Amino acid sequence: MQIIKQYIEDNKQRLLDELFDLLRFPSVSADPKYKDDVLKTADYTAAKLQEAGADNVEVCQTAGYPIVYGEKIIDASKPTVLVYGHYDVQPPDPLELWKTPPFEPTVRDGKIYARGACDDKGQFYMHVKAFELMMQTNTLPCNIKFMIEGEEEVGSNNLGLFVKANKERLKADVVLISDTSMLSMETPSLETGLRGLSYLEVEVVGPNRDLHSGVYGGAVANPATILAKMIASLHDENNHIAIPGFYDDVVELTDDERNALNAAPYNEEEYKKDLDIAEVWGEKGYSTLERTGTRPTLEVNGIWGGYIGEGAKTVLPSKANAKISMRLVPNQSSDKITQLFTDHFNHIAPPYVKVKVTPHHGGEPVVTPTNSVAYQAAQKAITEAFGVEPIPTRGGGSIPIVALFEAELGIKTVLMGFGLDSDALHSPNEKYDIFNYYKGIETIPLFYKHYAELSNS
């Protein structure tokens, strides 16, 4: 413990400066205009892995953005940890809401403000630096493999192929990921599940061209109105999702599981205050923690149609569109839900319009074990670093690759995230506390220590 703290203390400024350099790359995977920057970020990540002491570092080409790989095999008879993270980030839009530029990391009140500060550059880089620390202090007790991808925020479409084609190279005993949240620094937690995802786009088409809303309005169905009605009908009066069969495969939690989940500290007044909302909303019969962690949801992520420029234009739009995501829980299947949605949406379309549903990407839900050696090692590491035992929680977000690691490689994951839900992931002014960054670099070597010890006994 002392060695770890001393190393961090001795290298404090450099550890931060390097993260800042990483954050300066606008590695937005969703927007092709950032292509060169995304590629440069992969190169930077590879160079840093190499510097930290990794062998066989490679920027592995895919049909999309490359996957950065590196490893340190100290002894084939020792356990191997596969670290996964992503160097790509979400688009920074809307830009005007950022207090300081998204790709010029700025410290305010002890927090680093930048796109990717928490999701996931700040978090995966802790692993690179913790690895460097273990190499420099001669304390790496296990084998380690890094796989840092550049398409997580757009659905990891090429990662599945890479994993299938590299089963031998990726062989490991556990996957370790820091890309989730903790309850708070005072009440550290470990996520033990992630929701799945079905993401799709819908289009409602009416007349064959935009029309004068005075000349035709009232006589021709307005696709924007129809789309709004169709979307509104997807939740019933209890905010259950009204797609037939949607809940068929959902595993209900036992009373014990529900009680354990609801025992986590959560203050509804603070929650509402933080978001400036008068009331929370959601499926009847479930608490906020259950709604975000253990229940499936359906959300409109974007909706448009007609004239949205300056001033007014009297127009009856020819079509209207929406992007819709559904978060899934065990044992729902992404493909099945996408099909149910598509069938239902076509079914409820009135005869005045044509509808089209286009699936984007998906991912399966996962629950991670809490009785494994690796989970216990994470528990011990956090307890040692934070002085309190972590609480198990269920995360609301999705990391599709976790289910894939299990299916393809047969490896379970430990989700040891150090972010906070209030870190504004995907929002303007994303941040990551400098304290969390150092705390992560301190906790990770403790994980390796305990994992090696527990694996041996």
Q: Please list the active-site residues.
A: 88, 152
Nearer of residues 133 and 194 to ligand BES, judged by Cβ:
194
**7: Cα separation from own chain's centroid:** 30
Q: Is 119 in the site for ligand BES (CB under 6 A)?
A: yes
Q: Is 56 left (phi over 0), alpha (psi -120 to 50) or beta?
A: left
Gyration radius (Cα) of the chain, Å: 23
Stretch that binds Mn ion, among 141-149, 174-182, 365-373, 374-382 (CB under 5 A): 174-182
Nearer of residues 287 and 427 to ligand BES, judged by Cβ:
427
Q: Which of 120, 132, 173, 191 binds Mn ion (CB under 5 A)?
A: 120
Q: Which of 45, 80, 143, 180 binds ligand BES (CB under 6 A)?
A: 180
Nearer of residues 80 and 181 to ligand BES, judged by Cβ:
181
Q: Is 230 in the site for ligand BES (CB under 6 A)?
A: no
Closest distance of CB 276 from Mn ion, Å: 23
Nearer of residues 246 and 432 to Mn ion, judged by Cβ:
432
What residues contact residue 246 under an 8 Å CB cut-off, 6+ apart? 296, 337, 340
Q: Which of 134, 159, 197, 243 binds ligand BES (CB under 6 A)?
A: 197
Q: Is 399 in the site for ligand BES (CB under 6 A)?
A: yes
Q: Is 397 in the site for ligand BES (CB under 6 A)?
A: yes
Residues 137-166 that bind ligand BES (CB under 6 A): 152-153, 155
Stretch that binds Mn ion, among 111-119, 154-162, 263-271, 447-455 (CB under 5 A): 111-119
Q: Which of 116, 365, 390, 395 binds ligand BES (CB under 6 A)?
A: 395
What are φ and ψ of residue 24, in 5° steps?
Answer: -75, -20
Residues 177-196 that bind Mn ion (CB under 5 A): 179
Q: Which of 88, 119, 290, 433 binds Mn ion (CB under 5 A)?
A: 119
**110: Cα separation from own chain's centroid:** 24
Q: Which of 29, 45, 181, 189 binds ligand BES (CB under 6 A)?
A: 181
Q: Is 66 in the site for ligand BES (CB under 6 A)?
A: no
CA distances from 380 to 197, 384, 451 (A): 31, 6, 9
Q: Which of 150, 206, 296, 363 binds ligand BES (CB under 6 A)?
A: 363
Stretch that binds Mn ion, among 30-38, 155-163, 176-184, 276-284 (CB under 5 A): 176-184
Closest distance of CB 362 from ligand BES, Å: 8
What residues contact residue 11 under an 8 Å CB cut-off, 6+ apart? none
Would you tell me which residues interact with ligand BES (CB under 6 A)?
A: 119-120, 152-153, 155, 179-181, 194, 197, 361, 363, 395, 397-400, 425
Would you tell me which residues interact with Mn ion (CB under 5 A)?
A: 119-120, 179
